[in-house]
Amino acid sequence: MTLRIVFLDRATIAPGVEIRSPNFPHEWINHQQSSHEDVRDRLKGAEIALTNKAPIRADDIAQLPDLKYIGVTATGTDIVDLDACRQRGIVVSNVRGYAVKTVPEHVFALMLALRRGLMGYRADVITGEWQKAGQFCFFNHPIGDLGGARLGIVGSGAIGSAVARIAAGFGMEAVFAGRKDDTRPTPPKVPFRELLATADVITLHCPLTAETADLMGDAEFAAMKPGAMLINTSRGGLIDAAALVRAIESGHLGGAGIDVLPKEPPPSDHPFMAIAGRPNFILTPHVAWASAAAMQELADQVIGNIEAFMAGHPVNRVA
């Protein structure tokens, strides 16, 4: 019998990205999207499953006796029940390192747009404010430099470290936060509360765990330096969305650039949708990771992971 590979959500990789064929005989089945209700039927008889956002839970795994390998086409693996996979001997691999250029560059795109008021000025030009000014420029929105500003980075992994390197090129002072409950972190990390109080921009690059859920809420926004800005390209659950909206509307938070939400796409009544048109708030649709080069690297890793598994030496293994 030919080995069956099922990709549950091929549409999470752009159609122009080539996913090469693995170097062994197989049957490949693409589904553009899959809900949780689709998973068991679509994986029936499959030995290899690929998923980005389609959940594979313990009760699904119990009903899929042929399943031997799950390839997560992302770095985060909370979409798969890893404990259930370990109990069944199912190997799970993820992809790593593909976003160390694209995500930091998106962070700085958001940061620059917010610090320089680009969204507001662009809207003003469209509505004729430049003509009304009657001179070569006008000053409807505050403009701040990155040079000399303090950048607080929450998360010191590959992406957070890449952000710090770019910050150095702008002449920023980049500092990393210690854990929220650690008042005396090991240098060069600084206490989380100190970072809140002193950073001009804070950017989040930590995983979503029980410890980091709602990392930024009303108390944390109140503790931030007045006029400071927040960037989140990591996980939506790190932020209490309603609290962020209150901080923006009060004027205490100078701006926010958000690329990730707990539920994507957001419902029409999500708190962020009420402020999506503000010049100091930018919401992008989870595309920080999605440069053409990064998506190709991801696709190549996915196939490389499968081939390594089939050769008997799994790589990027998480279970």
| 1 vs 112: which has the higher pLDDT | 112
The answer on pLDDT for 122 being more than 80 is: yes
The predicted-structure confidence for 218-241, as pLDDT tens digits, reads as follows 999 999 999 999 999 999 999 999
Question: What type of residue is 232?
Answer: N
Q: Looking at residue 289, what DSSP letter applies?
A: T
Instruction: Tell me the average pLDDT across 22-32.
Output: 97
Could you confirm whether 86 is annotated as catalytic? no
Do residues 236 and 53 touch, judged by C-beta distance below 8 A?
no
Instruction: Tell me the average pLDDT across 252-276.
Output: 97
The predicted-structure confidence for 161-205, as pLDDT tens digits, reads as follows 999 999 999 999 999 999 998 999 999 999 999 999 999 999 999
Beta strand pairing call for 48-51 and 27-30: unpaired
Instruction: Tell me the average pLDDT across 288-314.
Output: 98
End-to-end CA distance of the chain: 26
Do residues 79 and 51 touch, judged by C-beta distance below 8 A?
yes
pLDDT at 249: 98
* Mean of pLDDT over the chain: 97
Cβ neighbour number for residue 169 with a 10 Å cutoff: 10
Active-site pick, 57, 141, 150, 286: 286
Active-site pick, 235, 307, 313, 317: 235
If pLDDT is split at 50, 70 and 90, which confidence band does 265 have? very high
Cβ neighbour number for residue 195 with a 10 Å cutoff: 24
Could you confirm whether 235 is annotated as catalytic? yes
Longest dimension (CA), the chain: 76
Active-site pick, 27, 211, 249, 264: 264
Please tell me the pTM assigned to this model. 0.93
Could you confirm whether 106 is annotated as catalytic? no
> CA-CA distance, 25 to 155, in Å (whole number)?
42
Q: What are 210's two structure tokens?
A: 């029980």
pLDDT at 110: 98
pLDDT at 238: 98
Instruction: Tell me the average pLDDT across 74-90.
Output: 96
Instruction: Tell me the average pLDDT across 21-30.
Output: 97
The answer on pLDDT for 103 being more than 80 is: yes
| Domains defined for the chain, CATH in brackets | 4-98+292-310 (3.40.50.720), 102-283 (3.40.50.720)
> CA-CA distance, 94 to 107, in Å (whole number)?
23
Instruction: Tell me the average pLDDT across 98-124.
Output: 98
pLDDT at 33: 97
The answer on pLDDT for 1 being more than 80 is: no
Cβ neighbour number for residue 37 with a 10 Å cutoff: 7
